[in-house]
Structure 1
Amino acid sequence: MNLKNVLIKITAIVAVVFTAVSCDDDFNSVGSEVIGDVNFEDDEYSAVPIAYSKRFEKVQTSGLPNNLLGVYNDPVYGPSVYSMVSEVLPSQFNPSFGRDAILDSVVLNLPYFSTITETNTEDGVVTNTFELDSVYGSNNIKLSIYHSNYFLRDFDVDEGAEEIQVYYSDDITENFGPSLENRLLFTEQNFRPSANEIRLLTETEDDATDDTDADGTEFSTFIPALRLVLASEDAAAAATVLNPDNTRVGNQELINYFTSLFLDKEGSIELSNPNNFRNYFRGLYFKAESITDDGSLVFFDISDANLTLHYSFETDNVDEEDEDGDGNITEFLRGEGSFILNFSNNIVNSIDFNFANATLNDGTSFENALDNQDEVNGEANLFLKGGEGSYAVLDFFNGMVTNEDGELENELDFLKRQNWLVNEASMKIYINQDEMVSGDTEPERIYIFNSENGAVLVDFLADPTSNQTSPILSVTNHLGRISRDSDENGEFYKIRLTRHLINILNEDIDNVKLGLSVSQNVNVVENAEGFTPNNTEDEVIPFSSVISHEGTILYGNGANVPEEKRLKLDIFYTRSKN
């Protein structure tokens, strides 16, 4: 090996090491030094992909990592309504409720994501102030909760009961039918999530914190939650409620209904095992309805939610001290018990959304624009919408370019011949501010993936920030957060694809089309199924897009896009001048 080749390899290694440790946003020169008689220089190449959008008619909403409930009106794409049906399972089977069991109340508790922002202590009483993390909008909606009689099966009978049953965003409204509304349990005509700490007298539950006020009155506190209490008429009248957001509803008929469903079924096969119980009780249906064009949308972890039956029963101890003050010292004292139902197994969201309800500035409906995409030449706008929405397809390196001999050549073949040392490959994806309503409603993150199988790219796996648990701070080298101007309007997202490009040029991976979507949480890398118009085969869409309520409009590669904002992959490289 001659000295010239040795020097070339040494210089290349130094350049690679320098690039690996550099985290600057912009390209740093790593060549351009003359070593021996070899001269290197830095340069840049821009690859313009064919880019267009696809919309979904329905997306998978079973198996979601988190769930949504309520109404959200996107300022660009219009309203979406999220409802939900879920199975519940008891924390124990074959329960024994005790002698002469009487149901006192039924409590539904769905905690919100929240953080404590302030803690005050006055007269020995601690009061916490909370901020809700994942509530969007501040207007009232109508919320109804039903005992559902629709059976959510585990396996797809159309596939010979060998495949897991997948449920979609339109199943609740289009396919499940009237059995969902088997029995109305609760109704809130003007529901709006509250950040108030919940305080209740004489309540003792596993997720409560006990405290005592200055008068010695004991009470329990809970984090902010959707909390509804159904009680007997007597219990509702006797209870003292410290938090007006969580009132008791007295309804003896429904207390009797739950008594017949559970307490009267002690020892029955219906309460003996999970399969029997699921077929018996079926589940709960949460139906959201809009009151005005705007509403409130709650993003929550339903694994922390439950429906709890509180009951009393006769003990073996006699009330000799007349503790209840009724003058009878021969009756038996009563004890208290609870029967907890947890949300589990099949949980399905519905998403009621229509692209036809909103238009671009030129009056074209989003539905019409998305159904007439130019997949050969690409489009000027890329439409990214979470939920039952849309994503973009990026097709790189399949066009023809003019090579150094003035001849047309396939772009990928041309790039492979260059033998460049690639220092960075990245693209700034600009937001079309003329079509967007900028501000807080713009998605903080977007997400790029293999459109064939939904897999993340190698740059995701190699990102040194990928170990961050916060979805805002995680994978920020590969998937840059939104960049905003001085007025906090979104300008662009920057995505780095350096390792992905190197693997393509080295023929370690195939050059597949890439998908681009919004993301509620870039740490969620599992994928859902979705169906686009006129396509009988399912397509891949990340769960992180399905659970996102937001949308954006980005510039594509169309000829009428301003040159400085045109979508392109900028490849920064080092090469020998010889």
Structure 2
Amino acid sequence: MHNNSIFKQILLVVSIVLFVSCDKDYNVIGDGLIGDNHFDLAKETYDVVAYNQKITPIQSNNLPINALGIYDNPAFGKTTANFATQLTLASVNPTIGTNPVIDSVYIDVPYFVDATQTKPKTSGGNTYVLDSIYGEPSGKIKLSVFESGLYMRDKDPAGGFQEAQKYFTDQKTDFENLKIGNRLNDAADVSQNDAFFFDPAQHSVKTKDDAGKETTTYSAPSMRLKLNVQFFTDKILKAPAGKLTNNEIFKEYFKGLYFKVEQSGTDPGSLAMINFAKGTITIKYKENTSTTDATRVDKSIVLNMSGNTVSLLEQSNTNVDYANATSNANPVIGDDKLYLKGGEGSLAVIKLFGPDLYGEDGTTGSPNGVADQLDIIRKKGWLINQANLVFNIDTDNADFAKSPEPERVYLYDFTNNRATLDYYSYSGKITRDATTKKRGLYYKVNLTSHIRSLIKHADSTNIKLGIVVTQDITVTDFYKLRTPTAFISQAPKASVMNPLGTVLHGGKSSVPENKRLKLEIYYTKPN
């Protein structure tokens, strides 16, 4: 394929990104240059074969953002998201003095907030609205934080320690079987464990200076849990000699934390996307000034939530239509509906330009290995001005009607597991109903450079395309399935990060014409 030079040119495009929440969004480069009327260019539409593909347990370690909680999407089923992480010492080899006694231990992991809705309070601080919370906003879950007994290696011994170790969405049982002791978030306050919820309230801490003047400090919402003091006394303050010397030794000694999620009674729960890498555990304690001075001084040790991590996803209560669609896909004529779901979910595979029945002119002769529709376009010598795939959302799906929708989908080269030539157009953003501004109507994906390349270069391969939901359009890495098949071995990493899903109309002839998936090509005839 003659893709390298074109792709290098595309890589020169620079996009400036402002991070507001965990769901990153970008302006579409070149979007609207042609406009809806396309300057009255000639237009042709083509049928598309698109079918469902299940994503079985998939690699989920070291994601930049992880899900935690329970989210029941009626169109797909229930996802229970657990999490495990290593810990590191913010300052290695700490000196712990005489008679140390812990005052408190707490974990603090910030939530994403919607900055546009943050408002100052007259009493001090701010009122916040959390971002990237799915399900009931105040839905409760049973949250238990355990010491992990599973050491997460950096390198895979099966590959001679040459490749990075992979961990997968379905490994909860491995962490569950090796968890150590009782849960660490064992405070009497049930909002910290048995009835935990993602609280949007700000934190406030009051302190007094030497003159007795009181000051209140406010901070943004976060997961702030009190942890068991005795455990950290034994594990950290009384650690065996040498175990806190450096972080490689420390990670083998204290293997990390395992966040276990369960349903809290009959509450439906909720799920949050969280950047755990910003989390800390702070151990506050007092010790003697020296071996000869019993005056008590305040000290602290901070553990960072860094190192290897894994998102552990459980799927249950699967929607029957979703299960049937992903287990009975039709690669020949396509499917009526396409189910795109993040996490351990599903994607759609797309084949353009139909069958190969004839020779180079697309109408006579023997098959030549090229789709007939593509042969005909090449013969006509069209100059491609714009090419799009338009995916209409199944707005009649009652199960899906009240579920939040992904802001963007990502179209990629399914055959070779890489981005397409049109990646840097950052297309695929949802178009919502103009009146309500809520319900999505369709996703339009730019495919102009890809189609131009197919037409210009006779040796270009008409690859299969894949489409997934995406959490971050800038993430183009691919993660491996735990058990590859002849049909699929990898899927986009950004899809694993996204807990949402969408239901789209396919390109099958049984789909109404106005809703059917089509390839639109706007072109100019050669002189």
* Cα offset, 1:317, TM superposition: 11
Please give the secondary structure, in 2, of the residue aligned with 1:186: coil
Higher CA-based Rg: 1
The yes-or-no answer on 1:448 pairing with 2:411 is: yes
* Cα offset, 1:459, TM superposition: 1.9
For residues 122 and 395 of structure 2, what CA distance do their matches in structure 1 show? 47
Please give the secondary structure, in 2, of the residue aligned with 1:59: coil
The yes-or-no answer on 1:486 pairing with 2:435 is: yes
Moved more, 162-171 or 446-455: 446-455
Instruction: For 1:296, give the aligned amino acid.
Output: S
1:140-184: per-residue Cα shift (whole Å, max 9, x none)? 1100110111111122222222211111000123x3452124442
The answer as to whether partners of 1:57 and 1:531 remain within 8 angstroms in 2 is: yes
Runs (5+) with no aligned partner, structure 2: 1-29, 187-192, 366-370
Please give the secondary structure, in 2, of the residue aligned with 1:189: coil
Aligned to 2:282: 308
The answer as to whether partners of 1:439 and 1:490 remain within 8 angstroms in 2 is: no
Moved more, 380-389 or 481-490: 481-490
For residues 168 and 367 of structure 1, what CA distance do their matches in structure 2 show? 21
The yes-or-no answer on 1:134 pairing with 2:140 is: no
**TM-score if structure 1 supplies the norm length?**
0.77
Instruction: For 1:517, give the aligned amino acid.
Output: V
Q: Which structure 2 residues correspond to residues 466-545 of structure 1 after superposition, within 5 A?
A: 475=426, 478-484=427-433, 486-487=435-436, 488-507=438-457, 509-531=460-482, 535=485, 539-545=489-495
* Cα offset, 1:280, TM superposition: 0.7
Q: 1:342 to 1:21 in 2, by over 3 A?
A: closer
Instruction: For 1:479, give the aligned amino acid.
Output: G
The answer as to whether partners of 1:483 and 1:493 remain within 8 angstroms in 2 is: no
Instruction: For 1:265, give the aligned amino acid.
Output: A
Q: 1:317 to 1:96 in 2, by over 3 A?
A: closer
Instruction: For 2:46, give the aligned amino acid.
Output: A
Aligned to 1:172: 172
The answer as to whether partners of 2:430 and 2:440 remain within 8 angstroms in 1 is: no
Aligned to 2:80: 81
Instruction: For 1:76, give the aligned amino acid.
Output: A
The answer as to whether partners of 2:150 and 2:179 remain within 8 angstroms in 1 is: yes
Q: 1:512 to 1:225 in 2, by over 3 A?
A: same
Please give the secondary structure, in 1, of the residue aligned with 2:306: strand
Please give the secondary structure, in 1, of the residue aligned with 2:86: strand
For residues 220 and 283 of structure 1, what CA distance do their matches in structure 2 show? 30
Which structure: greater strand fraction?
Answer: 1
Aligned to 2:189: none
The answer as to whether partners of 1:58 and 1:169 remain within 8 angstroms in 2 is: yes
For residues 222 and 21 of structure 1, what CA distance do their matches in structure 2 show? 39
Q: 1:23 to 1:405 in 2, by over 3 A?
A: closer
Aligned to 1:255: 229
For residues 404 and 91 of structure 1, what CA distance do their matches in structure 2 show? 67
The answer as to whether partners of 2:361 and 2:376 remain within 8 angstroms in 1 is: no
1:94-134: per-residue Cα shift (whole Å, max 9, x none)? 21022222121111111101236111345xxx321111112
Instruction: For 1:427, give the aligned amino acid.
Output: L
Moved more, 384-393 or 514-523: 514-523
The answer as to whether partners of 2:391 and 2:444 remain within 8 angstroms in 1 is: yes
CA RMSD of aligned residues (A): 2.8
Please give the secondary structure, in 2, of the residue aligned with 1:288: strand
Aligned to 2:200: 195
The answer as to whether partners of 2:38 and 2:522 remain within 8 angstroms in 1 is: no
* Cα offset, 1:92, TM superposition: 1.8
Q: 1:21 to 1:396 in 2, by over 3 A?
A: closer
* Cα offset, 1:55, TM superposition: 0.7
The answer as to whether partners of 1:531 and 1:537 remain within 8 angstroms in 2 is: no
> Percent sequence identity over matched residues?
31
The answer as to whether partners of 2:55 and 2:491 remain within 8 angstroms in 1 is: no
For residues 489 and 518 of structure 1, what CA distance do their matches in structure 2 show? 16
1:252-306: per-residue Cα shift (whole Å, max 9, x none)? xx4233212111227x121112221111110101011123362111111111101
* Cα offset, 1:25, TM superposition: 4.1
Q: Which structure 2 residues correspond to residues 336-351 of structure 1 after superposition, within 5 A?
A: 336-351=298-313
Q: Which structure 2 residues correspond to residues 174-253 of structure 1 after superposition, within 5 A?
A: 175-187=174-186, 188-202=193-207, 216-230=213-227
Instruction: For 1:530, give the aligned amino acid.
Output: L
Q: 1:78 to 1:286 in 2, by over 3 A?
A: same
Q: 1:349 to 1:78 in 2, by over 3 A?
A: same
* Cα offset, 1:88, TM superposition: 0.2
Aligned to 1:274: 247
Please give the secondary structure, in 1, of the residue aligned with 2:128: strand
The answer as to whether partners of 1:156 and 1:165 remain within 8 angstroms in 2 is: yes
Aligned to 1:103: 102
For residues 21 and 282 of structure 1, what CA distance do their matches in structure 2 show? 48
The answer as to whether partners of 1:148 and 1:183 remain within 8 angstroms in 2 is: no
The answer as to whether partners of 2:149 and 2:175 remain within 8 angstroms in 1 is: no
Please give the secondary structure, in 1, of the residue aligned with 2:289: strand
1:62-118: per-residue Cα shift (whole Å, max 9, x none)? 021111110111131121000001100101222102222212111111110123611
Please give the secondary structure, in 2, of the residue aligned with 1:193: coil
The answer as to whether partners of 2:70 and 2:141 remain within 8 angstroms in 1 is: yes
Q: 1:380 aligns with which of 323, 331, 336?
A: 336
Moved more, 103-112 or 440-449: 440-449
Instruction: For 2:168, give the aligned amino acid.
Output: Y
Q: 2:263 aligns with which of 290, 313, 319?
A: 290
Q: 1:273 to 1:396 in 2, by over 3 A?
A: same
